[in-house]
Amino acid sequence: LFLGYFITMNSVGEACTDLKREYDQCFNRWFAEHFLKGDRSGDPCTETFRKYQRCVQKAIKEKDIPIDGVEFMGPNKDKPDS
């Protein structure tokens, strides 16, 4: 059942929350308006995701959050530099 809205959460890094919301909005719009209608070409949100991912990786490093054994998702699956 699609209710037309998505629940959003804050990011691990407070400075990353706006980037997360921007990516979530982009992805949700693309998913609803293109992907669900069979158009799987392109992903207009890749660069926004990468900006958000870099911000999260920086926050993880700054907060010294252990990430050993964690699988990373997205177009750039590299672990943050240690």
Could you tell me if 11 and 52 are in contact, meaning their C-beta atoms sit under 8 angstroms apart? yes
Residue that is written with structure tokens 């920086």 in the block: 58
Q: What is the pLDDT of residues 32-79, one digit of tens each?
A: 999 899 998 888 999 999 999 999 889 888 888 777 766 666 554 454
Distance in Å from the first CA to the final CA of the chain: 42
What average pLDDT does this structure show over 7-20?
78
pTM of this prediction? 0.66
Q: What DSSP assignment string belongs to the chain? A: ---S-------SSGGGHHHHHHHHHHHHHHHHHTGGGT-----TTHHHHHHHHHHHHHHHHHTT---TTPPP-SS--PPPP-
